[in-house]
Amino acid sequence: MKSLAKEIIAIIIDEYGEEELLRRLSNTFWFQALGCILGYDWHSSGVTTVVTGVLKSIIDPEKTV
């Protein structure tokens, strides 16, 4: 799931920029949908923790502008 998340995040940053990624991540419905796309249980109370952990592990602050 990390490789899928990495590609999705890379495409959003390439196409729309970092600010748009942050805007989307702050949208609760979009964030929940991202968790579902990545294969995490949509009604799990831990989906926020899991998706945030995945994002933390794949986003490299050294590569962002």
Instruction: Let me know if residue 8 belongs to a domain.
Output: yes
CA distances in angstroms from 52 to 18, 25, 32, 47, listed in the order given: 16, 10, 11, 8
pLDDT of residue 4: 95
Instruction: Let me know if residue 64 belongs to a domain.
Output: no
The total number of structural domains that make up the chain: 1
CA-to-CA distance for 47 and 41, rounded, in angstroms? 7
pLDDT digits (tens, 9 = 90+) for 2-16: 999 999 999 999 999
pLDDT digits (tens, 9 = 90+) for 36-57: 999 887 676 788 889 999 999 9
pLDDT of residue 65: 47
Instruction: Let me know if residue 65 belongs to a domain.
Output: no
Look up the domain containing 19 and give its range: 2-57
Instruction: Let me know if residue 10 belongs to a domain.
Output: yes
pLDDT of residue 61: 75
The residue among 65 and 32 whose pLDDT is bigger is 32
